[in-house]
């Protein structure tokens, strides 16, 4: 016992460490797909086979000695009544090499908003496909279910980096399993290619029997790859966006009234670095006021000095008294891009931010029960800043089956579309593909205060 | 036997992930300070609230926590815990507000079905009265999603209507870290900064940060009786029943709450490092081992949360 406790040493806090390929970080992944594709059973299987489920929890879901794996996750009485998952359940387990946070997302179209909630913070998504539910066409091809398409599109849209298709319930097909897996893989591959989705892996699986979940089942359905868990243990967590210039939304302004603190002189601006890195001596501009200042001190979330990289909390003091409040942004001072013909330019400068704009174009995932209507004004949150936003035009809505874009006058609940908005105040807009923080906003209904839409800047 | 108890695992037990958990917690604590006008931090003196307090100290600096601490006292708390609560609040220079279920009983807003009934569920009434009294718009709580199935479903910023009710079917989507903190008059938020921590994370953090806890968390001799597989402490409030044998055992509490519904577990663990090892080897969950009140119904926590419980 004592030797074991000695190994739990306090690590030194390392600032600016890249989180790429860092398997010591917890991996957040979601499971999604259509209703009854076996998501809850898969999670139950992961928890039981990795021995993360404790005896009392196992006893709670066991009837006549046989555990109903699905019952681990459906925690609401309405869910147990209906046998469906309404909202995301977060589950935790660890293997000897990694800690995992699972977001068990609901399959019903009606609860797509909760699936989007889970996906927005995920490093990977496991999209379940029920092999027994697919229709076989005369030409030997299969059609995917709409929810498989919808969820794949949403996780791809939200830039969840690892997308794994888990073709489940193949055990139910007996001798046809190998052929079925090949056909379904083909259909998934064709769809992914058409939608521009990079697939990490396609794994044949039986969540019920445990094939390829925790332990690999070699040769089953002609598959030789790793089990789902083995794959999840090696996936990288999302890389921080360091190739975009420094941007920092001010979350909270700490004021010092104590005279002992005046040696530091100023207020501390706290928040999380959105993109780039920050260090003492950097010149920054303040948005929206346009003032400039030099960074006088940088500390990490726990008040230890150092330079801070994207994704991490920081406290910043400036070299002069300037007006900065919650919701403002500190941005790398706009520097002209390096002249491509200047062969003596030794270090390529990061691209400067474009001018702040009041006109934005965005992809929207609509989550309210009321449709999005052109002409309406919503409240938008960008970083820590609330701005009024008017929907100027609905460019199109997306047909998730054909991936065709259609003219539309409104965006229906759970639909995806493209819109143009006019903002009351300008923002520094960066495409979501370059920065999750600068490129994302939420829309909130002015009357109900519901979180109605997720905006991804195009 | 748990897979994580295999000896090889001990050598590789990492606490690097605690940095990320701490950072997330501090981010949320600051967000509450900035986004709300009258927040309060629910503080019981238990291990989860002491972990939150440690993060608050780091977030705001010693002596600068910008919200009061609020305790809803059932009158059935272990004195070791309430003493510790008062000591820590004083040490931090934090404002401590205590509101008690007994006062609600005196007002007539809480009626017990019978004198021996657990007062735990009635905390909701007293809590909502305190929210009215101080017009709190956000209450920070130390609940973790790994504790219980209904808690596993809750958002970090959880909206409550003007009756203090949680509406699990109509939770607000929570995208990225864009927290929608908009309220109508009379509504409030419950905010859970340590949602993503597990019991093991909490103990590893207590060990790493050397956080002091009430003595009940560590091994001590205590008179107990065995009842339905639980060790029930023998106290004035929870006397032994006829025919039960009182034994003195080496025990510790995994969770401390209302005396009438909290049970200790058998243990010789004398410090946080010992408890980390025991937690790794545990094959019964924190609630399963310690709570009498959750066993009554699968949905008891969900029902209580809908009624305004935290």
What is the value of ipTM here, to two decimals? Answer: 0.87
Average model confidence (pLDDT) across chain B: 86
Q: How far apart are CA B118 and CA B304, in angstroms?
A: 13
Q: How far apart are CA B75 and CA B109, in angstroms?
A: 16
Residues of chain B with Cβ-Cβ distance to A5 below 8 Å are 273-274, 276-277
Of A280-284, B7-11, B129-133, the one with minimum mean pLDDT is B7-11
More confident residue, A327 or A352: A327
More confident residue, A418 or B282: A418
Q: Are B199 and B254 spatial neighbours (Cβ–Cβ below 8 Å)?
A: yes
Per-residue b or e along A245-265, where b marks 16 or more CB atoms closer than 10 Å to that residue's CB: bbbbbbbbebebeeeeeeeee
Residues of chain A with Cβ-Cβ distance to B7 below 8 Å are 4
Please indicate whether, in this complex, the C-beta atoms of B20 and A90 are within 8 angstroms of each other. Answer: no
Roughly what angle, to the nearest 10 degrees, separates helices A112-120 and A146-157?
A: 30
Fold exhibited by the domain A247-334? Elongation Factor Tu (Ef-tu); domain 3 (2.40.30)
Mutation choice for A interface testing from B178, B197, B208, B270 by most A CBs within 10 A = B178
- What residue spans in chain A does CATH classification 2.40.30.10 cover? 247-334, 355-457
- Taking the CA of residue A252 and the nearest CA in chain B, the distance in Å comes to 6
Mutation choice for A interface testing from B65, B137, B153 by most A CBs within 10 A = B153
How confident is the model over B214-231, as a mean pLDDT?
Answer: 92
Mutation choice for B interface testing from A1, A2, A5, A389 by most B CBs within 10 A = A5
Residues of chain B with Cβ-Cβ distance to A60 below 8 Å are 298
Q: How far apart are CA A114 and CA A102, in angstroms?
A: 14
Residues of chain A with Cβ-Cβ distance to B198 below 8 Å are 92
Mutation choice for B interface testing from A270, A306, A457 by most B CBs within 10 A = A270
How confident is the model over B177-186, as a mean pLDDT?
Answer: 94
How confident is the model over B225-239, as a mean pLDDT?
Answer: 89
Please indicate whether, in this complex, the C-beta atoms of A367 and B173 are within 8 angstroms of each other. Answer: yes
Q: Are B127 and B145 spatial neighbours (Cβ–Cβ below 8 Å)?
A: no
**Token pair 């009158």 in the structure block, residue:** B75
CATH architecture of the domain covering B16-202+298-307: 3-Layer(aba) Sandwich (3.40)
CATH architecture of the domain covering A27-234: 3-Layer(aba) Sandwich (3.40)
Q: Is the confidence at residue B193, as pLDDT, over 50? A: yes
Please indicate whether, in this complex, the C-beta atoms of B180 and A451 are within 8 angstroms of each other. Answer: yes
Q: How far apart are CA A214 and CA A48, in angstroms?
A: 10
Q: Is the confidence at residue A263, as pLDDT, over 70? A: no
Average model confidence (pLDDT) across chain A: 83
Q: Confidence band (pLDDT; 50, 70, 90) for B10?
A: very low
How confident is the model over B72-99, as a mean pLDDT?
Answer: 91
- Taking the CA of residue B142 and the nearest CA in chain A, the distance in Å comes to 16
Paired sense of beta strands A124-130 and A162-168, if any:
parallel
The maximal CA–CA distance of chain A, rounded, in angstroms, is 82
Q: Is the confidence at residue B93, as pLDDT, over 70? A: yes
How confident is the model over A119-140, as a mean pLDDT?
Answer: 87
Q: Is the confidence at residue A144, as pLDDT, over 60? A: yes
pLDDT value of residue B144: 93
Selecting from A24, A90, A120 the residue whose C-beta is nearest the C-beta of B145 gives A90
Q: Are B233 and B256 spatial neighbours (Cβ–Cβ below 8 Å)?
A: no
Q: Is the confidence at residue A439, as pLDDT, over 90? A: yes
Of A6-20, A103-117, A403-417, the one with minimum mean pLDDT is A6-20
pLDDT value of residue B100: 92
Selecting from A24, A87, A95 the residue whose C-beta is nearest the C-beta of B171 gives A87
Cα-Cα end-to-end distance for chain A: 55
B195 at interface of A, judged by CB pairs closer than 8 A: yes
B57 at interface of A, judged by CB pairs closer than 8 A: no
B115-124, B145-154, B164-173, B247-256: which has the highest mean pLDDT? Answer: B247-256
**Calculated CA dihedral for residues A449, B27, B210, A101, nearest 10 degrees:** 70
Q: Are A81 and A70 spatial neighbours (Cβ–Cβ below 8 Å)?
A: no
Query: Any residues with CB less than 8 A from the CB of A219 and at least 6 apart, and which?
Result: none
pLDDT value of residue A16: 31
Q: Which two tokens stand for residue A413?
A: 């609940």
Q: How far apart are CA A50 and CA A406, in angstroms?
A: 46
pLDDT value of residue A341: 58
Q: CATH number of the domain at A355-457, please? A: 2.40.30.10
Angle in degrees, CA A295, A298, A302, rounded to 5: 160
B207 at interface of A, judged by CB pairs closer than 8 A: yes
From chain B residues 148-177, the ones with a CB under 8 A of any chain A CB are 148-153, 155, 168-169, 171-177
- What residue spans in chain B does CATH classification 3.40.50.620 cover? 16-202+298-307
Residues of chain A with Cβ-Cβ distance to B152 below 8 Å are 73, 75, 89-91
Q: How far apart are CA A20 and CA B73, in angstroms?
A: 46
DSSP B217: G
Q: How far apart are CA B54 and CA B205, in angstroms?
A: 10
Q: How far apart are CA A266 and CA A296, in angstroms?
A: 10
Instruction: Identify the CA nearest to A106 among candidates A130, A122, A90, A87.
Output: A87
How confident is the model over B153-182, as a mean pLDDT?
Answer: 91
Long-range contacts of A189-194 (CB under 8 A, 24+ apart): A191/A144, A191/A149, A191/A152, A192/A152, A192/A163, A194/A403
Query: Any residues with CB less than 8 A from the CB of A5 and at least 6 apart, and which?
Result: B273, B274, B276, B277
Please indicate whether, in this complex, the C-beta atoms of A96 and B12 are within 8 angstroms of each other. Answer: yes
pLDDT value of residue A18: 35
Paired sense of beta strands B39-42 and B69-73, if any:
parallel
Q: Confidence band (pLDDT; 50, 70, 90) for B1?
A: very low
Instruction: Identify the CA nearest to B60 among candidates A398, A252, A372.
Output: A252
Please indicate whether, in this complex, the C-beta atoms of B10 and A3 are within 8 angstroms of each other. Answer: yes
From chain B residues 234-263, the ones with a CB under 8 A of any chain A CB are none
More confident residue, A94 or B25: B25
Q: How far apart are CA B111 and CA B114, in angstroms?
A: 9
Q: Which two tokens stand for residue A288?
A: 């929206």
- What residue spans in chain A does CATH classification 3.40.50.300 cover? 27-234
Q: How far apart are CA B201 and CA B214, in angstroms?
A: 18
pLDDT tens profile A37-67: 678 788 888 887 776 666 565 555 555 555 5
Of A385-394, B37-46, B59-68, the one with minimum mean pLDDT is B59-68
Question: How many CB pairs below 8 Å do chains A and B form together?
Answer: 190
More confident residue, B17 or B176: B176
A3-17, A444-458, B144-158, B236-250: which has the highest mean pLDDT? Answer: A444-458
pTM score, whole prediction = 0.88
Q: What share of chain B is helix, strand, coil (3-state, %, to 5)?
A: 40, 15, 45
Q: How far apart are CA B132 and CA B130, in angstroms?
A: 5
pLDDT value of residue B217: 95
- Taking the CA of residue A56 and the nearest CA in chain B, the distance in Å comes to 6
DSSP B95: -
Mutation choice for B interface testing from A2, A16, A99 by most B CBs within 10 A = A99
Residue A59: φ, ψ to 5°: -65, -35
């Amino acid at each position: 016992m004592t030797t074991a406790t000695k190994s739990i040493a306090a690590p030194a806090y390392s600032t600016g460490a890249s989180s790429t390929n860092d398997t010591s970080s917890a991996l957040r992944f979601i499971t999604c797909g259509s209703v009854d594709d076996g998501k809850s059973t898969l999670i139950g299987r992961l928890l039981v086979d990795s021995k993360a489920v404790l005896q009392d929890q196992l006893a709670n879901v066991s009837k006549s000695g046989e555990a109903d794996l699905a019952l681990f996750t459906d925690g609401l009485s309405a869910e147990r009544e209906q046998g469906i998952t309404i909202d995301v359940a977060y589950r935790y387990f660890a293997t000897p090499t990694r800690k995992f946070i699972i977001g068990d997302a609901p399959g019903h179209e009606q609860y797509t908003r909760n699936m989007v909630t889970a996906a927005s913070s995920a490093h990977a998504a496991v999209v379940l496909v029920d092999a027994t539910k697919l229709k076989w066409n005369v030409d030997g091809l299969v059609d995917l279910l709409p929810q498989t398409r919808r969820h794949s599109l949403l996780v791809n849209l939200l830039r969840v980096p690892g997308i794994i298709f888990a073709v489940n319930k193949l055990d139910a097909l007996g001798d046809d399993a190998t052929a079925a897996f090949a056909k379904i893989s083909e259909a998934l591959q064709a769809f992914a290619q058409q939608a521009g989705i990079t697939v990490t892996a396609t794994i044949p699986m039986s969540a019920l029997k445990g094939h390829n979940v925790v332990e690999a089942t070699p040769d089953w359905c002609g598959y030789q790859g790793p089990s789902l868990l083995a794959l999840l243990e090696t996936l990288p967590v999302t890389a921080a966006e360091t190739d975009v210039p420094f941007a920092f939304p001010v979350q909270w302004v700490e004021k010092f009234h104590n005279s002992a603190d005046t040696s530091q002189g100023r207020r501390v601006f706290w928040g999380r670095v959105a993109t780039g890195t920050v260090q003492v001596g950097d010149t920054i501009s303040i948005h929206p006021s346009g003032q400039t200042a030099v960074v006088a001190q940088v500390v990490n979330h726990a008040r230890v000095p150092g330079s801070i990289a994207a994704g991490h909390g920081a406290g910043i003091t400036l070299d002069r008294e300037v007006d900065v409040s919650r919701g403002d942004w500190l941005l790398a001072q706009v520097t002209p891009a390096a002249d491509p013909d200047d062969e003596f330019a030794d270090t390529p400068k990061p691209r400067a931010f474009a001018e702040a704009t009041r006109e934005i174009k965005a992809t929207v995932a609509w989550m309210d029960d009321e449709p999005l209507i052109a002409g309406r004004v919503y409240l938008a949150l960008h970083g820590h800043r609330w701005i009024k936003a008017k929907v100027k035009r609905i460019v199109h809505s997306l047909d998730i089956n054909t991936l065709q874009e259609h003219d539309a006058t409104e965006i229906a609940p759970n639909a995806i579309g493209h819109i143009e908005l006019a903002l009351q105040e300008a923002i520094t807009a960066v495409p979501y593909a370059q920065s999750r923080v600068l490129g994302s906003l939420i829309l909130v209904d002015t009357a109900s205060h519901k979180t109605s839409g997720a905006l991804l800047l195009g | 036997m748990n897979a994580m108890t295999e000896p090889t695992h001990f050598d590789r037990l990492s606490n690097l992930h605690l940095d990320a958990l701490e950072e997330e917690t501090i981010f949320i604590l600051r967000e509450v300070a900035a986004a709300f006008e009258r927040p309060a931090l629910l503080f019981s003196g238990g291990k989860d609230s002491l972990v939150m307090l440690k993060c608050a100290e780091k977030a705001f600096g010693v002596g600068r926590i910008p919200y009061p601490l609020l305790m809803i006292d059932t009158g059935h708390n272990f004195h070791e815990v309430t003493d510790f609560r008062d000591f820590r609040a004083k040490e931090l220079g934090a404002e401590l507000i205590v509101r008690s279920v007994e006062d609600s009983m005196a007002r007539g807003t809480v009626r017990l079905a019978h004198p021996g009934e657990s007062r735990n569920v009635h905390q909701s009434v007293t809590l909502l009265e305190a929210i009215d009294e101080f017009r709190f718009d956000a209450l920070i709580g130390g609940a973790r999603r790994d504790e219980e199935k209904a808690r596993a479903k809750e958002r970090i910023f959880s909206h409550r209507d003007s009756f203090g009710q949680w509406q699990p079917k109509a939770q607000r989507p929570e995208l990225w870290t864009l927290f929608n903190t908009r309220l109508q008059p009379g509504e409030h938020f419950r905010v859970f900064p340590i949602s993503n921590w597990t019991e093991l994370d909490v103990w590893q953090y207590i060990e790493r940060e050397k956080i002091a806890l009430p003595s009940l968390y560590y091994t001590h001799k205590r008179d107990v009786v065995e009842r339905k597989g639980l060790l029930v402490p023998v106290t004035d409030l929870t006397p032994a029943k006829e025919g039960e044998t009182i034994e003195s055992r080496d025990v510790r509490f995994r969770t401390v709450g209302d005396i009438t519904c909290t049970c200790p577990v058998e243990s010789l663990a004398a410090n946080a490092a010992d408890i980390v090892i025991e937690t790794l080897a545990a094959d019964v969950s924190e609630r399963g081992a310690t709570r009498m009140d959750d066993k009554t119904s699968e949905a008891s926590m969900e029902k209580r949360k809908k009624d305004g419980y935290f």
